[in-house]
Every structure is written in C-alpha cells, then in structure tokens.
Amino acid sequence: MSGAARGKKPGLLSSAFSLIIVFALLFVASRVAPEYKGDLGTIAAVGFLLLGGALLAEVLEPLRMPHLTGYLVCGILAGPHILHLIDHESVQLLSKVNSLALALIALAGGAELRISILKEGVRTLGWATLVQTVGGIVLVGTLFFCLKPMLPFAKDFGVAQMIGVSLLWGVLATTRSPSATLGILSQTRAQGPLARYALSFVMTSDVVVVVNLAAAFTIAKPLLVPGAEFSFGAFKELGHELLGSVAIGTTLGLLLAAYVKLVEKQLVVVLLALGFGAWEVLGYLNFDPLLTFMVAGFVVQNLSKQGDKFLHQIEWTGGLVYVVFFATAGAHLDVPLLRKLWPVTLILCGARALFSWGLGRAASRIANDPPTVKKWGFAPLISQAGLALGFAALVEKQFPGFGTEFKALGIAAVAVNEMVGPVLFKLAIDSAGESRPPVPTLPEGDHAHPEEPPTASSS
C-alpha cells in the first residue's frame, strides 16, 4: 500500500476506491442489519479498522500526513460519534488490544535503546529531561492557574486548591506518547540524531512521569482534599512499583533472550501471551507494566545478541496491532466533549506546544545539541496518548469532586495533541532528512517465491 509513497497515481486511486468500498460495505451492513450483536460484529470492526486505517493513511500520504493520523481519522469517522459504523460496545471490546499494543510498544522502545546510543546522548537527554519536566510543570501549571475563570469545575476553588489542581495538570502536560513516537519512527524508518533523541527522551520520560505522578499526588492531596495529610506513603509504594518492575523486567528480558536464542519459533505467540496475559497480571500486582516491558526489551537488546531478531519480530507484530490500536483510539475520541471544551483545550494545547518548543531550545543550547535536535527537538514531545489518559483517569478516581471534569478536559487535550503531535513529528523527521524509503516485501509476479516450504498441516 505504498504506491502513493512512490508517486504512483494508480496506487492512490486504487486505495481511494478500496476505501470507498470498505466504508460502503460496513455502512450497508450496519444499516441493513443494525441489531446484530454477535462477536463477529467486533471482528468486522477490527477488519474495518485495519483496512480503513491503512487505506486512509495511504490516501493522506500525499499530504505528508503520518500513517498514524490516517488510522486515527478512520476511527473517528467510523466511531460511534460520527458514522456509527462501529458501536460503543465494539469500541470497548477493542480496547483490549491496548494492552497488547502498549506491551509491544514498550518492548520495542526498550529494545531500541542501545547503551551505546544512550551514552552518546546522555548529556542531551539529561538536560532535556530536566528542563522539559521542571519547566513544563511550572509553565503549564501556571497557565492553568491563570485560566481559572474558563474552568467551570474550578470556579469555587481557593488558591491552595488551584495550586493543587494546576500541579496535576502540569504533570499531565509532561506525559508523552511512546506509541506515537514509535509509530512515526517505524513508518519513516528514521535514523539520525533527532530519531535517537526522540526515542530515548520519550521512553525515559515514561519513568520520570511515573515518579512525578506519585510526587504530584502526594503534594496535591493535602491541598485539594480537606483533612488529608501530607504523607510519603505514595513514595513507598512507588519504590516498590519501580524496583519491582525493573526486577521483573530484567528477568523477563533474560527469559525472552533465552527463548529467542534457543527456540526462536512462535515468538508471536509469546508476544501475544505477554501482551494479553502478563500485562494484566503485572497491573494487578501493582507493578508498572510499561516499565517492566521496556526494561525487558532493553535487557534483550543490551545483554544478549538477540536484540535485532527480537526487534524485527516485534516490529512485524506491532505493525498490525498499531493500526487497530490507533484507529480504536480514534473511535474512542469523544467528539461531542471536544466540541464543548474546545476553547480552553486549544489554549492549553497551544501553550504546551509553545512551552515545549521554548524549553527544548533552552535545553539544546545548554547541552550543545546537533542543529536538527535544536530545531526540531520539541516535535516528538507534543503527542499524548494512553499514559495521559491513564493519569486523567487516576485523578478522577482520587478526586471525585472535580475529577470527572478534569478527566474530560484531559481527554479533550489528548485528542488535540494526538492529532497534531504525529503530524508535527513526521514533518520534523522529514525536514531533518532522517526518513528512509520503504522496502517492498511482496514482489510482483509468480517468480516471487517459486518454492513452497513444507508445512505442518500439509502432512
């Protein structure tokens, strides 16, 4: 489906034509048999999102839009708020793919982090993390504080409460999207200083955000909840969570490396089991699954010789899963809510992007970064996705008084950043000249593979 990428018009036309057929088929099916509630309805939704997402991505490619945007737009259009080709129930069921997608993203992210690369960019990474985190929380938090009149849920808040809620929003603003970053890097096959910086920063920021999150809750709770006391209990839990996750991740990484070396076959099944099974178990045990899988990927890459093989397999599996993951995220998008909160959302998102740019420039100046990082280093930091949503959901749970509206605003902001961020990052990667052309894998004609390997079922 890369015809368009190579400037072949028939590819684009056939994609557009196929897209119309695919939309039309599901449209007719959903109108002719609207009451169908079987499981295969969800399966049709997966098929549709896979096809529709991939096709729309291709149709949008001449506009230099990232594939990810195509997947998201497909989900939004087909989702329950616009064309209603996919109902709420199916969207909820499809959310189970999230854990698999996030597991693959974390594994891939960890496996992409080579110690040699990290060593090279440790100064850049250190300064960027410090400046973006501290500066981001302070600046975005301050803006949020100033926007009090525009926030219906904060009308009756005093200064202390406003500081508490602004702190939470500030931390929310520092969350990034490893999935979007990896999605763009995977599509563009980017290699260069910007790609390396983006990957290492976004992956590391996940750990930083987890720590900040615990700190923010500890500080904000006494400010927001009358009678609540300042307690370091959250840090104790955090220590358990982080150390435990690193320990389990290391063990898992060693096991995976041994598996790849000794067995190698059926790695997809192992990845599926990890994504669907282990992710849930780790969450249940109060470990951070994202960190665990990231450490596992890191261990496979850096403590064994199986890293490239492992990474290749993850990329293959992830390629399919990401389409469904992002398209489902699009279908999840609460369009009516976005319509309602758009003014304040736009201000917050615009300011966040601006602060990221300014802070990025400052950090790059201190670290004396390469020109591409100096210029475009802010671009991969705009996207937000699952982590921000998870954080917003946690706020809702911890602070029932205003949490629901805080979460709604968070979702709206994530929606905007989710749409804008990948476009900006792709533009940055292209402008920095770090993207590489695609490699076709399915040769035309029967001469492609004249021989068939013997298989099992064919005894």
Partner 1 sequence: MVLLALSAVGSFLVGGRGRGVGLASGLEFVALGFAVGPFALGMVDRAMIDQFEPILQVALAWFTFNIGLDIGFVGERRAPLRVMVLGAVSTLLTGALVFAAVFPLARLLHIEDTKSCLLLAGGIGAACAETTRHVVRWAEARHGAKGKLTEIISGFGSSDDFAPILASAVFFAMSASVGSAVHIPIPIGGFIAATAVLGLLLGGVAILLIRNTEGHEVWAALIGTLLLGSGIAARFGLLPTAVTFVMGIMLGFSKHRGALRVLVRPTERAVVLPTLLLAGTRLDVRVVTENKLLIVLVVAAIAARFVGKLASGGMMRMQSEPARKTGKTLGLALVSSGALSIAVGLSFALRMPGVIGDTVLVAAVACALVGEIVGPRSLRLALLRTGDIEPPVVFTPPPPPSEENLGSDTPDEHNEVVQ
> What is the contact surface with partner 1 in residues (CB under 8 A)?
1-3, 6, 8, 11, 14-15, 17-18, 21-22, 25-26, 29-30, 32-36, 38-51, 54-55, 266, 269, 273, 277, 315-316, 318-320, 323, 438-459
For residue 33 the two structure tokens come to 């048999």
CB neighbours of residue 399 within 10 Å: 20
Residue 166 backbone phi and psi in degrees, to 5 = -70, -35
Both tokens assigned to 263: 């067995």
Neighbours of 354 (CB within 10 A): 13
- Token pair 């890293």 is found at 307
CB 119, CB 137: distance < 8 Å: no
Between 161 and 186, whose beta carbon lies closer to partner 1? 186
CB 231, min distance to partner 1, A: 39
What is the closest distance, in whole angstroms, from the C-beta atom of residue 401 to partner 1 in the complex?
A: 39
Nearer to partner 1, 7 or 226 (CB): 7
58 versus 369: smaller Cβ distance to partner 1: 58
- Which tokens belong to 357? 């740019």
Looking at the Cβ atoms of 51 and 257, the one nearer to partner 1 is 51
Token pair belonging to 380: 């991969």
Here the contacts of 149-152 (C-beta below 8 Å, separation 24 or greater) are 150/343, 150/344, 150/347, 151/344, 151/405, 151/409, 152/405
Nearer to partner 1, 39 or 156 (CB): 39
Nearest-approach distance from CB 259 to partner 1, in angstroms: 13
Q: Which is nearer to partner 1, 116 or 458 (CB)?
A: 458
User: What's the min distance (Å) between Cβ of 446 and partner 1?
Assistant: 4
Burial of 84 (0-12, 13-18, 19+ CB in 10 A): middle
Nearest to partner 1 of 33, 247 (CB atom): 33
Q: What is the DSSP letter of 456?
A: S
> What is the distance between the alpha carbons of residues 168 and 417, in angstroms, rounded to a whole number?
18
Nearest distance from residue 419's CB to partner 1, in Å? 22
The dihedral through the CA atoms of 12, 18, 24, 30 has a sign that is: negative
* Min CB(444)–partner 1 separation in Å: 6
Cβ of 7: how many Cβ atoms within 10 Å? Answer: 9
Report the SS3 class of residue 34.
coil
Q: What angle do CA 75, 77, 82 make, to 5 degrees?
A: 125
The values of phi and psi at residue 121, to 5°, are: -105, 20
C-beta closer to partner 1: residue 158 or 443: 443
Q: How far is the CB of 289 from partner 1 (least distance, A)?
A: 18
Distance, CA of 272 to CA of 50 (rounded, Å):
18
CA dist 459 and 450 (Å) reads 20
First-last CA distance in the chain: 34
Shortest distance in whole angstroms from residue 323 CB to partner 1: 6
Answer whether 310's CB lies under 8 Å from 110's CB: no
Compute the least distance from the CB of residue 372 to partner 1, in Å. Answer: 26
**Greatest CA separation for the chain:** 76
Question: Cβ contacts of residue 281 below 8 Å, gap of 6+?
Answer: none
| Amino acid (1-letter code) at residue 349 | C
**Residue 385 C-beta: closest distance to partner 1, Å:** 20
Q: Which is nearer to partner 1, 315 or 405 (CB)?
A: 315
Closer residue to partner 1, CB minimum distance, 238 or 429: 429
**183 vs 370, beta carbon nearer partner 1:** 183
Helix axes 67-78, 178-188, angle to 10 degrees: 120
CB of 109 to partner 1, least distance (A): 18
